[in-house]
Structure 1
Amino acid sequence: MFRRKRIVRHIRYLIEEFMDNCGGTFVLVIVALVITGIVMKDTLSIEYNTYNQVTTYAGFDFPSKRDFPFHRGCLDVDEYLNDPEYTKMNASFVILTRNEEFEGVKRTMTSLEQHFNQWYNYPYVFLNDVEFTQEYKDKIMDLTNSTVEFGTIDELNWEFPEDVRNSFEFKQYIQDQNDRSVMYGGLESYHKMCRFYSGLFYKHPLVQKREWYWRIEPDVEFFCDLTYDPFYEMQRHNKKYGFTIVIPELYWTVPNLFRYTRSYINSNNLIVGSLWKLFTRSYKILDDEFVEEHSNEGLNDWINFEEEIDDKFSEMISVDHLIEFDPDDNDGIEYLVRKSKSKLPIVEDKFNDEEYNMCHFWSNFEIARVDVFDNDIYNGYFQYLEESGGFWKERWGDAPVHSLGLGMTLNLHDVHYFRDIGYRHSNLHHCPRNYEGDGNKYKGQLPYKHKEERFSRKVNSPDWQYDRSNEFGSGCRCRCPNKIDVEDSSYQCFEKWIGMIYFDKDEYNFELDGEWTGKVNGEKRFKQVKKDFLKYKQQEDSWANLGLKLGEAET
């Protein structure tokens, strides 16, 4: 939902960027041009959804120094591969699947090979809790010219500890989640899968062999050609983790996950990364300096929302005025009585003045360094969660666990949004606009050249008919489904990503160390409330004096 205030911030951002480079002489002309461009819908390619009366994100582009598409549109793959600076990375695809899921895996691999791997030939790692059959292996290897490795998961990694899974409590919790219709909560196998992907998959020897991995799933579809090597570009741009979908989690799958996460952080005195803010909501409304100055008032406990500030300040000012200047002040007495009877407000999921906002990277798609998880902090975090029993007492998904764990250790600039990769899994999809090119560095939509005959596309066939290009697009030869993009259907999380990457100066009080600071200047706000209070008292005194004079006159 790209509201007007977001567009205003975008204008301000562009102005600031221009001022940094060019000075102010020319700025009024630029402001006029920017505003004119935003008013002209076609110029900026903003799409208006007449059904829900909002402007969509999917049709808009966002300039940012922190993150941007590695390349827009299509590259000549042969030129890219022959560039002397290019180096193939130590990486593989990783998929957890079963013998009976071959058809879904076939759809995924066929799409991935056609759109990317026919040119780059990265290997595959297949994992299963039982041995893959020889028939399955043969059929899989027929789908690619790349190396394929098959591995099994040791029972100690796949199964919950024996004393847990044989207990009445374990069965009761699983059944209870089923009875309450917690999504997949009644499926023991799903709990195992979430636990495995949360903290064990990267320990497998076949994954440990590589520095990078790209997670894939059965029944995945890719909509665009990827003509560059994402592993190499991640390395070249100092990125550690890449995603393509960010969405909110279902609350009842993780009601206590954040409680244990904050407990782990506190127990280990961790300083979280700036990525942490993407997944949390801060209840520190006032700046730290003002809160510290008035520590006896416990302001962070009493003020959880901005609209509560003025009332709390009015109480403080009225009580001080009562004590210091006017012991007969009725307003002050009322505030003092109310304060003595007040109960501390409780925000159910607030811990350390923070709350999990349910946003997470959808981990069905991940391109990342193995060591973003295989490190002391994340390994300790997983072990802490494991000991809590939350992977079976609740239905903690690997996506929120990954996201909160990454939030502890990564900063925003470590993460890359693969906006140019069109992707679908289950009923969620993201698909970018094609890029039309700028006539210089980026050529837009180059003709498709297959490396394997089975991936040839017949001219004038549906496979050859791509979506229209757009000057603000990023995709290469995309054919998008006629559905609402997840950028718009799950805008609550995507707009926070946009806010932090592009507009943090205004709303998010961005700090490199990741610590939240209050966004409201307490001293300034307090002075304004006090000024209004004194003005009110002066008016009250004036009316009182007028009443006395009128009374004396009548007498």
Structure 2
Amino acid sequence: MNTTTRYVLLVFFVLIGLHSILSFTHEDYGRATSLSNIVHKITWDTSTLDPIPQEYYSDIPASNVTSRRANATILMLARNSDLDSAVRSVRELEDRFNRRFQYPWVFLNEEPFSDEFKTRISNVISGPVSFGLIPHDHWFQPDWIDEEKATVGRNKMLEDNIIYGGSVPYRNMCRFNSGFFYRHDLLQQYKWYWRVEPDVHFHCDIDFDPFLYMEDNDKVYGFTITMYEYDKTIRTLWDTVKEFINDHPEFISEENAMGYISDNGGESYNLCHFWSNFEIASMDFWRSEAYTKYFEFLDSKGGFYYERWGDAPVHSIAAALFARKDQIHFFNEIGYEHNPYTHCPRGEEVWQRGRCSCNPSRSFDYDGYSCMRQWDRIQ
């Protein structure tokens, strides 16, 4: 092929590529700017939603002396290496929510935070901020764990290509989030927390106070995304839970949400859980006798290290069993993303009011891996 022929072919393919890009951009722009294409064609089920009442929305910053606020904090577990992604998450939630309400932040790390981390984080926060060191015994693998057995379990998960299957630090984090974060000295003064992670995104304005809504309406746990757990990470978890239930039937709520986590009355676990990288919840619930004994029982079995029990199923099972189902709240109004999944609010009015940037048609709510249908079923 001579030079002239190659040049002609190159120009041809470039022109074809430009045409495709322009056609796609024009079509996509049309969709993105037409509410009829984005919202009106979406047929999400809104019949089970529990909308936030108007009284919890505010146009006045909470710094006003007459404003009412809950005893709450926004909580992030992060490492110094997470700084850039942590700043992005903090800045988004500040812009979308906390610049109005100015709740304090608490950051926890198993190593001391660097001066750079503290300076850059403090620079984008509108209210008080605290940085804490996690106690050694709350983070690292306990001495009583059989390391040989734990190594076998990790190697098996590596063979099965399970994400974080071979990671001890990930298991430390899951155990800490399951049973220790609410014991930290910096959190003892608070009842409520909003868990935020590095590199998450908030797609809508949140001009209501979720903490006050939870407090006033006797809620204990709030979520945005619900999905299935990897069954190979929690092989013995449900049998352990059933053993605990048999020993302590007094802790099970009469109005529980067993129907969300089991399709056969508790005989087996259907793997549904609330995705705990987003939680707005009561630490008093975790500090209760029921949850304390539950966590201690689970911890004594070693499943956080012999398998890879996550804080998401551990929290979700506890909320489903020990709380009334009406004490668990789905925050439809909060547009939230933790890659690769996004919850975009259902309902045109909610989507517009929140000035949401997410596309409702790409919401995870009724994806094949979502458990939203199970949640809707018990409402």
Q: TM-score, normalised by structure 1?
A: 0.58
Letter in structure 1 aligned against 2:354: C
Q: Where do residues 492-531 of structure 1 align in structure 2 (5 Å cutoff)?
A: 493-501=371-379
Q: What is the aligned partner in structure 2 of residue 423 from structure 1?
A: 336
Q: Aligned partners of 2:299, 2:242: CA distance in 1, in Å? A: 15
1:138/1:272 CA distance change after superposition, 3 Å? same
Cα distance between partner residues in 1 of 2:62 and 2:92: 21
The secondary structure found in structure 2 opposite 1:489 is coil
Shift of 1:276: 2.4
Q: Which residue of 2 aligns with 1:383?
A: 296
Residue 124 (structure 2) pairs with residue 143 (structure 1): yes
The answer for the alignment partner of 1:278 in structure 2 is 260
2:112 counterpart SS class: coil
Q: Residue 488 of structure 1 is aligned with which of 348, 352, 366?
A: 366
Deviation track 1:206-258 (CA, whole Å, cap 9, x = no partner) reads 12210100000000100000111111111122212111111111111111110
Q: Deviations over 1:461-497 (max 9, x none)?
A: xxxxxx7x4xxxxx51111147621112147521121
> Distance between the aligned counterparts of 2:103 and 2:88, measured in 1?
17
SS where residue 396 of structure 1 aligns?
coil
Rg larger in 1 or in 2?
A: 1
Q: Is the 8 A contact 1:72 1:420 kept in 2?
A: no
What is the identity, as a one-letter code, of the residue corresponding to 1:154?
A: P
Q: Deviation per CA, 1:407-431: give whole Å up to 9, x if none.
A: 2210111111100000001201101
Give the 3-state SS of the residue equivalent to 1:382 in structure 2: helix
Q: List aligned pairs for 1:197-236, cutoff 5 A.
A: 197-236=177-216
Structure 1 Cα separation of the partners of residues 134 and 126 of structure 2: 25
CA contact (8 A) 1:94 1:207 kept: no
- Equivalences, count: 340
TM superposition shift of 1:271: 5.1
Match of 2:164 among 181, 184, 197: 184
The one-letter amino acid of 2:69's match is K
After TM superposition, list the pairs within 5 Å mapping 1:81-100 onto structure 2. Answer: 87-100=68-81
In 2, Cα distance between the equivalents of 1:135 and 1:83? Answer: 33
- The one of 92, 98, 113 equivalent to 1:117 is 98
Deviation at 1:81, TM superposition (A): 7.8
Q: Is the 8 A contact 2:237 2:303 kept in 1?
A: yes
Any unmatched runs of 5+ in structure 1?
A: 1-41, 49-55, 284-352, 437-443, 445-466, 470-474, 502-555
In structure 2, do the counterparts of structure 1 residues 482 and 234 end up closer, same or farther at CA, with 3 Å as the change threshold? closer
Among the aligned pairs, what percent are the same residue?
35
1:103 partner SS: helix
How far 1:80 sits from its partner (Å)? 8.3
Contact 1:80 1:228 in 2 (8 A): no
Give the one of 52, 61, 65 matched to 2:46.
Answer: 61
Q: Provide runs of 4+ in structure 1 moved above 3 Å.
A: 45-48, 71-76, 79-84, 433-436
RMSD across aligned positions (CA): 2.4
Quick one: distance in 2 between partners of 1:235 and 1:406? 16
Aligned residue type for 1:225: D
- Matched residue, 1:152: 133
CA deviation map 1:116-165 (0-9, x unaligned): 00111111110000101112111111111211101111111101112427
* TM-score, normalised relative to structure 2: 0.83
C-alpha displacement at 1:46, in angstroms? 7.2
